[in-house]
Amino acid sequence: MDSKGGGTEAQKFVWEGAIPLQIHLHDSEVTTLPNPPPALILAPRLGYLPLLVPKIKPFFSNSLPPGVDTVWFEYKGLPLKWYIPTGVLFDLLCAEAERPWNLTVHFRGYPGNILTPCEGVDSVKWSFINALKEAAYIINGNCKNIMNMSQSDQADLWHSVLNGNMEAYLRVSSKLKLGTIGDDYSLKLNSTSKSRQRTSDTDATAPIRTGRIPVRLYIRSINEDIDDLEDAPIVDSWDKISYINRPVEIWGEGKCFTLYNAVKALLPELFADKHLLTDNVSKAEMEDGQQSEEISSLRSPEEGGETSTEHAGSPLDTAEIKFLRIQGIEPKMEIPFGWVVNNLMNPEHYLHICVYIKVVEPITI
Amino acid sequence: MISISSWDGTLSAAEFYVAACAFSELWKKFNLALPQWSWIPSSKRPGIPFNHVEGYLSMENVILPSFEQEDYQGDDLMEKEEYSCSNVDEFIDDAILVQNYCHEVNHYDFHIVYSTSYRVPVLYFRAYRSDGQTLLSDKIEKDIPPNSAKLLTKSKWTFITQEDHPQLNRPWYTLHPCGTTDWMKLLLTNEDSVGQDEVASEKYLVSWFSVVGQVFGLKIPFEMLGNIGTL
């Protein structure tokens, strides 16, 4: 958990993560023959689509009709929200990973009734800073440390994100005193004696903290029983995605707070007590070497051993989690949440989680 | 009840619901020349029936009052003539909010949504013409008091921004919540409440709106603020 110097192995993977994109100019904006070929570009997971515009515009500028540029991206008819990190958009909208990811770019006709305005790099920068302020607020109860950043630190922070430079980012962000996550469990292991309370003071070393964690959850419902993710119905409207921007409060004395605990805190209805009955059955299945189909809310990692908890729920529910994705991976639910946050969070200190749920019954209102 | 001495200016989701009910009741009681507030229950979670206490406050189809003479700096007076009818002056009264009966009337929808990140209410609004067409900031600037309009253009990213409405998932304008706790703390702990060491959550939204409403020239009658005790 050494955040000084190079960062952890996992953090390196996350910062180096990128999605290969194949970007096509929308037909209505092609004024030359033949059609310009698509632009091929590697988009950093932690970055944002509008930041790619300077690199892709040269591919298309000859073809564009006259007018002012108002750039927006679209995937299979869905205008893409530019303030969501590229990696999250990919994890959420491509049930089955599509490589390269085929996107359409528009330079005209901005859908202002669906997308908030984006005026280029500045908009993305301010959206990032506002998200960082919100995260600081959640963590510390105020965003003083962000407001008080020197101009040069702010510039360094933003540039480290723009350029995908993890070392530079870690150097500047450590000054923000947003801390790393610990809990009683890992504290006992590490035998440090840092206080458990939320810190807003300015001690020299990065504080270990419990308390509130910034999380953004994106829920995609798949109403049908599908075996192959490729057959998942495409998302043609943002109304089909539930977005929950809600902090997770870490709790628990002497027990490890896991990813499972965190998701349960955000979506309690998907984890009702039905599992009590299936506890023994699951254990037996596990001993047979089969994957458990159930999550036990009573079993902690110490007792349960290898519980693969990628599938949850019972037929009695109206909805169940099929799987979840963070930075393109499907982490096991019993991983300590602190580890997940410290290693897989985005530079604005938010952990973005894509959850795929299966709704068994039709939604009635 | 919240203890004043340790209060940080925030409120919980449950307290927000209490405050929202109290606020809309009081608003109804005072019968201002403005639409009522309604509570819109909602849930973000698919397939799950919602809990009535989760939701937001909505006041829609508001026509902003025209400004009183003394709020104006010289230059803007000419512009005002363009937008208001000549007989509006007869109806200006400090305690009553005036409706602008002219041809070019803009409508505003206001939503008060609880933010779990900031733990305070946040105002979302949208503006549209009588025919339903959405208005952008250049038009909104003309409807709001000059000081607000200045802030709208100067602090583009920090004061009034466009964000996705957290419940409706469409771009709405919003007043950035950063700083709310600071002025709420000042507001509610400096009141004439000697001997009172608790803050009633019922008071929260009335006090909050007395500040936030000013951005749009919506002033809460003084009596409304003092009236909480009678709830």
CB-CB neighbours of A203 under 10 Å: 10
Among candidate residues A176, A204, A220, the one where a domain is terminated: A176
Neighbours of A220 (CB within 10 A): 21
Domain of A275, in residue numbers: 184-359
Interface residues from chain A to B (CB-CB < 8 Å): 81, 112-117, 126, 129-130, 133-134, 137-138, 141-143, 214, 219, 221, 238-239, 242-247, 267, 269, 318-319, 357, 359, 361, 363
Weakest mean pLDDT among A56-70, A186-200, B91-105? A186-200
The predicted-structure confidence for B111-137, as pLDDT tens digits, reads as follows 999 999 999 999 999 999 888 888 887
Domain assignment of residue A87, yes or no: yes
- Count of structural domains within chain A: 3
Residue A200 domain flag = yes
Do both A141 and A72 map to the same domain? no
In this complex, which of A117, A126, A267 lies closest to B45 when CB atoms are compared?
A267
Residues A11, A32 within the same domain: yes
pLDDT, average across residues B80-102: 42
Residue from A105, A41, A110, A112 nearest A73 by CA: A105
Average the pLDDT over each of A103-107, A320-324, B23-27, B148-152 and give the range with the smallest value: B148-152
Same structural domain for residues A66 and A99? yes
Residues A101 and A193 reside in one and the same domain: no
In chain B, whose CA is at the least distance from the CA of A266?
B45
Q: What is the pLDDT of residues B125-172, one digit of tens each?
A: 999 988 888 888 788 878 888 877 777 666 655 678 889 999 898 999
Q: Is residue A113 included in any domain, yes or no?
A: no
Domain-embedded: residue A51: yes
What lies within 8 Å, CB to CB, of A326 at 6+ separation is: A91, A340, A344, A351, A352, A353, A354
Do A168 and A191 lie in one domain? The reply is: no
The answer to whether residues A213 and A351 touch, using CB atoms and an 8 Å cutoff, is yes
Instruction: Looking at the structure, tell me whether residues A161 and A284 fall in a common domain.
Output: no
Average of pLDDT values for B17-23? 92
The H or E element containing residue A283 is helix A279-287
Q: Specify the CATH number for the domain of residue A125.
A: 1.10.246.190
Active site residue B178: yes
Which 8-state DSSP code applies to residue B229? G
Q: Is residue A337 part of a domain?
A: yes
Handedness of CA B38, B41, B42, B47 (dihedral sign): negative
Q: How far is A64 from chain B (nearest CA, A)?
A: 26
Same domain, A163 and A221: no
Do residues A167 and A251 both lie within one domain? no
Q: What gap in Å lies between CA A294 and CA A281, rounded to an integer?
A: 9
Distance in Å, alpha carbon of A155 to nearest chain B alpha carbon: 16
CATH number for position A21 = 3.10.20.620
Structural domain contains residue A28: yes
If asked whether residues A338 and A222 sit together in one domain, one would say yes
Q: Is-contact A17 A87, C-beta < 8 A? A: yes
Looking at CA atoms only, how far is residue A59 from chain B in angstroms? 30
Active-site residue identified among B21, B85, B102, B178: B178
Helix A151-162 to helix A121-140 angle (10° resolution) is 110
User: In the block, which residue shows the tokens 């639409």?
Assistant: B35
Q: Which of A53-62, A183-192, A273-282, B90-99 is predicted most confidently?
A: A53-62
At A23 the pLDDT is 97
Q: Is residue A23 part of a domain?
A: yes
Mean pLDDT over the full length of chain B: 75
Which carries the bigger pLDDT value, residue A30 or residue B200?
A30
pLDDT the model gives residue B103: 56
Which of A47, A72, A106 is where one domain is finished? A106
pLDDT value of position B49: 53
Is the Cβ pair A143, B46 closer than 8 Å? no
Same domain, A238 and A155: no
- Domain shared by A214 and A349, yes or no: yes
d(CA A157, CA A178): 14
Asked if the model's pLDDT at residue B41 lies above 80, the reply is yes
| pLDDT for position B227 | 60
pLDDT, one tens digit per residue, over A51-81 is 999 999 999 988 898 888 999 999 999 999 9
Q: Which residues of A touch B42 (CB under 8 A)?
A: none
Q: Tell me: do A324 and A205 sit in the same domain.
A: yes
Which pTM was predicted? 0.81
Q: Is residue A294 part of a domain?
A: yes
How large is the ipTM? 0.78
User: CA-to-CA distance for B171 and A132, rounded, in angstroms?
Assistant: 20
Domain boundary, last residue among A59, A78, A106: A106
